[in-house]
Chains A and B, each alone.
Chain A
Amino acid sequence: MTRSRFIAIYNPDHQLSLNVAKSFSPQVEKNRTGAILFPVSRRSQGQICNRILQIKVNKIPLKFGLASTGTTAILAALLKPGSRVSEKQTSQFIRLFEIEHLLSLYLFIPKVLKTLKRWGIHNIGQLADLPKSQLIDRMGKQGLHLHRISQGKDLIPFQPITEPIRFVITETLPWEIEDLQHLTFLFEKLLLQLCRKLETHGLLTDQLNIKLGMRGGKYYQKSIPLAFPMRNSKVLLSLLRLKIQSTKPESPIYRVELEARPLQSKIHQHSLLESNRIHPEQFSKTLSRLWKLTSESNMGVAVSINTHHPDRFKQVGFSVFKGKKKLGVGKETLPQN
């Protein structure tokens, strides 16, 4: 079984390092020191290293390091750029490096460094020579982590940067559409795809954005905030239809783009004796029917404004749902001390 190796690239311009790393591998990890780590196969490692050597920023080559573990590769890139460390040489290679560089790779509290300094530990080799059991006795779980990284091993597995998932469906039409009925058929198909995508990720949506490309380069953009997060394509279709009916596009449409804002779904445990809850889909339909009858500006909830006028108020939309959870990039899990 071939094990992959890691290349770490470092440059003060982090974006440059990221772009270079992405040109070699789709999976990249960003370390808290700013170094970018990506895996390479043994077969292609030599070729990639040679190509990196040719990349120069202000006539200075990029700093990089190649090793069997991410920790060693990052230390090599930072302290001895251009090094290619084999698996057997890992622990020997990092022995002479100062302990501060090793601890800076991970989130250790300053107390750990002070303790090690007090013991007279200044480089990684001295830390690696400490007996494992006694280190754990004195420092607990941190001691175990320290022993591990002093051997050049990784504390956490490789965690690539993940881009936030966008739920967008676009369709360019072969000819322009003016009729709302034909547009509804298209919406039905696109919404079904969108809702299925949400379902596969276990997500809901609390806002639907629609962007229609019209003749003449104009755009028709509307957003439909939902009173309740949902992923029912039929309900979304009826809301969309009501919205389009209330504010019709001016020109024929040649392009349709639908975007759903994703939201984590929550599991609600209702008791048997609880009063009847609001039906979210029906509630959204009711609101959209009222929007169509009057207008969005004629309905909502009055909220007092904190000014010197006690009777000042503003109108906001009525929603039972409160609080939003944004989907972020993959978490940076580091050993907590």
Chain B
Amino acid sequence: MTSSLQLIKTNSETLNSKIEIARLTTGSILNTQNSISKTYLSTGITSLDRMLGGGLPMGTISELTGSLSNGKTSVLFTLLAKATSEHLRIAYIDVFNTLDPHFARISGIQLKQLFWIHFRKEPLSNKLNKSLKSANILTRSQNFDVIVLDLETASVCTSEAKTQKIPFHYWFRIKKALHQKKIAFILLSHSSSAGSAATVRLGLKRSSVWWKSTQAVSKLNLSNHYELLRGFTTRVSLLKGGTHDQIKIYCHLQS
């Protein structure tokens, strides 16, 4: 089943009490402003940009944290689609080989601008070490505008992968290398990895799931047991880097 994200704007309120339901559209850019405005990288989601004060800051580490299937990849791909539409170069370090190029393409990302580094044939113990070294090389080279380090362990849910902790000094080294550079470093992980080295941390949590029953299912009177996933709502909280605010994003899945 293919998935697509649709963005719908509804009534918006003030920052502290507003809950904005947004639906992200695949391949369509609603934010007509330039992606890099001053030192921010637009996420492609207007409400999220407003919450962040313009977008993800460049020259620092930004974290997207949350458990599995909470919308991290959806938000990330919307951001990358926006970035590629502005002809930015992206380096994607896929540690545990979780990137789906097909989903990336239908999300609007121009794959020719996405440099994909994966460690498919590497043993597990080497993956993390090599991925951090790659991140270090890329941040120092200044050849890419966006660097994504995907530590998501969706397909590799082993205890070894979960308990492996990255020493703090790695993050501070990357932070120092990013200083005063126009590079957005985005870290995708279950929980906070970069700690104080990250300037912005967004927490994503699935708040509600929407189901629908098909005609075939209702005919068989099996609606109580079998339903199709229509979409889900994700609550995005700004845990670090601003006022502790939150918005809701609706991710719609289409078959």
Contact = CB atoms under 8 A, between A and B. Distances in A.
Given A286-B138, A286-B141, A290-B137, A302 B101 contact: yes
Interface stretch (B70-78, B104-112, B169-177): B104-112
Interface in B147-185: 182
A295 B182 CA distance: 28
A104 interface: no
Interface stretch (B37-45, B46-54, B117-125, B246-254): B117-125
Contacts of A170: none
A278 B143 CA distance: 6
Interface in B93-115: 100-102, 104-105, 111-112, 114-115
Contacts of A290: 117, 134, 137-138
Interface stretch (A40-48, A156-164, A205-213, A303-311): A303-311
A290 B100 CA distance: 22
Contacts of B117: 290, 294, 298-299
B141 A283 contact: yes
A278 B137 contact: no
A317 B157 CA distance: 30
B119 A294 contact: yes
A311 B130 contact: no
A27 interface: no
A1 interface: no
Contacts of B118: 298-299
A302 to B, nearest CB: 4
A297 B121 contact: yes
Is the interface on chain B under 10, 10 to 19, 20 to 34, or 35 or more residues? Answer: 20 to 34
Interface in B4-49: none
A292 to B, nearest CB: 10
B143 A301 contact: no
B145 to A, nearest CB: 9
A304 B111 CA distance: 9
Nearest to A289: B137
B143 A303 contact: no
Contacts of B114: 301-302
A299 B101 contact: no
B116 A282 contact: no
B206 interface: no
Nearest to B110: A301
Contact of B101 (A279, A289, A304, A318): A304
A320 to B, nearest CB: 8
B208 interface: no
Contacts of A286: 137-138, 141, 143
Contacts of A299: 115-118
B89 A311 contact: no
B255 to A, nearest CB: 13
Contacts of B218: none
Contact of A318 (B100, B115, B134, B138): B115
A321 interface: no
A47 B115 CA distance: 67
Name A's interface SS: mixed
B133 interface: yes
Contacts of A285: 141
B142 interface: yes
A285 B138 CA distance: 11
B102 A311 contact: yes
B147 to A, nearest CB: 12
Given A282-B143, A294-B130, A302 B137 contact: no
Nearest to A292: B137
Contacts of B112: 301, 303
Contacts of A310: 2, 102
A318 B89 CA distance: 11
A300 B116 CA distance: 5
A183 B85 CA distance: 45
Nearest to A286: B141
Contact of A302 (B111, B121, B122, B142): B111
Nearest to B133: A293
A36 B228 CA distance: 77
A24 interface: no
Among A301, A303, A304, max chain B CB count under 10 A is at A301
Counting chain B CB atoms within 10 Å of each CB, which of A279, A294, A295, A310 scores highest? A294
Contacts of B104: 302
A33 interface: no
Nearest to A310: B102
B177 to A, nearest CB: 13
Contacts of B119: 294, 298
A221 B246 CA distance: 58
Interface of A: 276, 278-279, 282-283, 285-286, 289-290, 293-295, 297-304, 310-311, 313, 315, 318
22 contacts: A282-B141, A286-B143, A290-B117, A294-B119, A294-B130, A298-B117, A298-B119, A298-B120, A298-B122, A299-B115, A299-B118, A301-B111, A301-B115, A302-B101, A302-B114, A302-B116, A303-B111, A304-B102, A304-B105, A304-B111, A310-B102, A313-B101
Interface of B: 2, 89, 100-102, 104-105, 111-112, 114-122, 130, 133-134, 137-138, 141-143, 182
8 tightest A-B CB contacts, nearest first: A302-B101, A311-B102, A286-B141, A299-B117, A313-B101, A283-B143, A318-B115, A302-B111
